[in-house]
Structure 1
Amino acid sequence: MTVQLIAQKAKALARMGRRDEMLDTLERGRVVLDGMPYPDNIENHFMVDPSKYDFYAMDCYRQIGENRLARELSDEVIRASTDFHGNERWPMRIAEAQVTLGIVAAREGNLDEAVGYGRRALSGDRKSLPSLAMHSRDLSQVLTERYADEPETEAYLEQLQSIQSQ
């Protein structure tokens, strides 16, 4: 539980734009996690294993604009959240990683890739619509800032609006 609280604090610091404090907090959480035994049951929502911690860190790096780290962690989150048969173990983590990849793509000038990741995130199996909607709004904000007049942006925003009204 301690590691999860530290990770949530890092996410809050990232959203407030307090980069250095966020980095220190993420490091402190990693040190605490490294000192703990690997959890017996990683399906327990309150247990944090290294892959779940990467999920939290991915969100932090996306928030502060560290695109390379956000992309690397997104790829790792998707890999760790998919079993060797290709089945999604944690669809919400995968969806949020796809949103992160979409944000990075938009920041780097690739609208088609950004919208593609955003649509995949919205179309997947999900359990927490409010969380996904919050992260998807982050993507919609970047798309609106950079590609407001593009038909792809408008189509994505309509798709996002339709799932928010459900």
Structure 2
Amino acid sequence: MRAWFALTTGDYRGVISAAQDGGEVAPNHSVAVQLAGQEAKAWARLGDRRQVEVALDKGRRLLEGMPHPENLDNHFVVDPAKFDFYSMDCYRLVGEDRLARTLAEEVLRAGTDFDGRERSPMRNAEARVTLGVTAAREGDLEQALTTGERALEGDRQSVPSLIMTSRELAAEMRRRYASEAAAQDYLARLYSLAEQKPGFMPR
């Protein structure tokens, strides 16, 4: 939990310290996989691609040596689908857009039932933000807006990780499409949410 709180408040060195400490305490537990993923996220936000790969490789090795978890509702349990979700976040941040997009599509596939019902709405929301970020970088404003708006649907936008990723899309919009009316409308919606949800203000 210390690693998670540090991540959502921007204390990335604190994430790394907490994740490494926790991994030493419980090296053979599923939570060690989660901690490796949190460490990778922190390195990604610090811009260290090499350490991202080191942390992700550590998590993958741990995951491969464990049985498939029985209770996927346990927050501290990690299965391959959740680890893809962590990896998606990291690769988006370090600019590996093709890989981030592929993982986002897999997250959406795994998180949606055959009838369209979403089993993992928050993971799906962050996957859509990832698709929006990669589309924005590729010059596809329409796709970026479509997926970005879809990510904000529902009443669970206050989750800290979704807040972080939405800020990334907002930054891409301001950087690349500041003069586009549609992008301005999207940013205005984010600022409107900020008035309702403290901490949501894009920066």
Letter in 2 for 1:77: V
Whether the 8 Å contact between 1:103 and 1:139 is mirrored in structure 2 is yes
Aligned counterparts, 1:123-142, within 5 A: 123-126=153-156, 128-142=158-172
Separation in structure 1 between the aligned mates of residue 163 and residue 134 of structure 2, nearest angstrom? 17
- The one-character-per-residue Cα deviations of 1:79-129 (angstroms, maximum 9, x if unpaired) are 111122211111110000000000000000001110111100011453643
Partner of 2:178: 148
Change (3 A) 1:159 1:68: same
Aligned counterparts, 1:8-47, within 5 A: 8-47=38-77
Whether the 8 Å contact between 1:92 and 1:125 is mirrored in structure 2 is no
User: Structure 2: any 5+ residue segments left out of the alignment?
Assistant: 1-30, 197-203
Larger of the two Rg values belongs to structure: 2
Q: Secondary structure at the match of 1:38?
A: coil
User: Structure 1: any 5+ residue segments left out of the alignment?
Assistant: none
Separation in structure 2 between the aligned mates of residue 164 and residue 81 of structure 1, nearest angstrom? 27
Aligned counterparts, 1:17-166, within 5 A: 17-126=47-156, 128-166=158-196
TM-score of the two chains, using structure 1 as the length reference? 0.96
Deviation (angstroms), 1:165: 2.0
Residues 1:3 and 2:13 are matched in the alignment: no
Question: Identity across aligned pairs (percent)?
Answer: 56
Deviation (angstroms), 1:55: 0.3
Whether the 8 Å contact between 1:115 and 1:156 is mirrored in structure 2 is yes
Query: How many corresponding residue pairs?
Result: 166
Letter in 1 for 2:103: L
Letter in 1 for 2:137: R
Q: Which moved more, 1:129-138 or 1:115-124?
A: 129-138
Whether the 8 Å contact between 1:106 and 1:114 is mirrored in structure 2 is yes
C-alpha root-mean-square deviation of aligned residues, in Å?
Answer: 1.1
Separation in structure 2 between the aligned mates of residue 118 and residue 54 of structure 1, nearest angstrom? 20
Letter in 1 for 2:135: A
Q: Which has the higher contact order (CA 8 A, sep 6+)?
A: 1
Separation in structure 1 between the aligned mates of residue 178 and residue 95 of structure 2, nearest angstrom? 20
Separation in structure 2 between the aligned mates of residue 111 and residue 127 of structure 1, nearest angstrom? 22
Separation in structure 2 between the aligned mates of residue 4 and residue 128 of structure 1, nearest angstrom? 22
Separation in structure 2 between the aligned mates of residue 127 and residue 42 of structure 1, nearest angstrom? 22
**Runs of 4+ displaced beyond 6 Å:** none
Deviation (angstroms), 1:130: 3.0
